[in-house]
Amino acid sequence: MPEINVALIGHRFMGKAHSNAYRQVRKFFPGNLVPRMKVLCGKACNEELEETARQFGWEESDCEWERVVERKDIDIVDVSTPGYLHHPMVIAAAQAGKHIFCEKPLANTLAEAKAMLKAVEKAGVMHMVNFNYRRVPAVAFAKRLIEEGKIGEVYHYHGAYLQDWIMDPDFPLVWRLEKKYAGSGALGDIGAHATDLAEFLIGEIQTVTGQLTTFIKERPLVAQGSGAWGAKGQGGKGKVTVDDDANFLARFKNGSVGVFESTRFAGGRRNHNTFQVYGSKGSIAFNMERMNELEFFDRTEPSEVQGYKNIIVTQPEHPYVGNWWPPGHIIGYEHTFVHGIHDFLTAIDEDRLPEPNFRHGARNQTVLDTIERSSKSGRWEKVKA
């Protein structure tokens, strides 16, 4: 079976999730192209990077991404770094003719996202942006139900992505809280998922009105070398330059209306990524904290037996899960990354563009940008296609 050589840039949270996916993918999802884990790249050549490379089975490690993306023996560049590095890395990788798998959100600004899309299209390489929640079996199944008309005409979409990991005012000023590194706060980090899922499931958002709020304006400076999670503070304080909460209303092209909230200040909500869709024939509800389940309400049933059904999405007929365990044997967060890598490799093998690709990534950035514009203008703003 032909091998395809991978360089992964980023070795912490997302780097590990992607590394695990490359290791697992062919064990559960047979396919023609077999990823060869060539090089793991981090920002410093240190013990932490080498140890991660060893643990996950990378052949080499390196700390010069510019050198890595140029290597003749690399076919895929996987960008799993903080947002401000996506743009330079993707542009360089595209110019070097590599296929690119990039973490979400695609970029820190709309201008960057557009330039990245242009670069991959000019280079003629394959590109994918990792909105991993599209590949939760229950979410892919919800999409199938909507496409089969089980929900009918959609009236309402509710999307809430709630977390609580920075509620402590003493939680330090990690990179995700600085605009120069992260682009935005809850908006780009988790609002990006909420808006992507909405457009994936029910179609394009046309207009939005939103507000962005920063509750804690200053935080302890972060100790050198800390990642975002479990970071340590040090003396002195710095300014938080991103939003803690992004909430907005939306009107969709198809006439549906939407209500959204993305926050890191919802106590007790650890990774509460939820949506509900209400239509003329039925309703569905999903909660990532119970990711193997999908609630479905069928309005076409006689009213005396109507009620929400809780579908355990682990049947072989459901998307992706048939490749894992027997019915009822649930899967987890990391599996969504395996599904994404499998779909990316399949698309490369079949020479067709996977989804979501950088067009979807740039489109998503346009929606985020419009929410930001509306929060400044205080008005409804149109999402410019």
Nearer to ligand SOE, 81 or 163 (CB): 163
Interface positions with ligand SOE (CB under 6 A):
163, 189-190, 271
Report the candidate in 67, 111, 63, 122 with the shortest Cα–Cα distance to residue 87.
111
DSSP designation for 223:
P
Count of alpha carbons within 13 Å of 75, Cβ hemisphere only?
14
Inter-residue contact 93 to 71 (CB < 8 Å): no
Length of the chain: 385
Nearer to ligand SOE, 150 or 363 (CB): 363
Nearer to ligand SOE, 41 or 228 (CB): 228
69's tokens: 């993306």
DSSP designation for 337:
H
> From the CB of 190, what's the least distance to ligand SOE, in Å?
6
> From the CB of 150, what's the least distance to ligand SOE, in Å?
27
Nearer to ligand SOE, 189 or 381 (CB): 189
Q: What are phi and psi of 28, to 5 degrees?
A: -115, -25
> From the CB of 68, what's the least distance to ligand SOE, in Å?
23
> From the CB of 83, what's the least distance to ligand SOE, in Å?
10
Q: What is the rounded CA–CA span in Å between residue 205 and residue 383?
A: 7
Nearer to ligand SOE, 123 or 138 (CB): 138
| Contacts for 211 with CB less than 8 Å, ≥ 6 apart | 246, 247, 248, 375
Nearer to ligand SOE, 191 or 220 (CB): 191
Provide the edge-to-edge strand list for the sheet that holds 257-263: 309-312, 293-298, 282-287, 272-279, 154-162, 257-263, 245-252, 205-213, 381-382
Inter-residue contact 22 to 35 (CB < 8 Å): yes
User: Nearest residue by C-beta to ligand SOE?
Assistant: 189
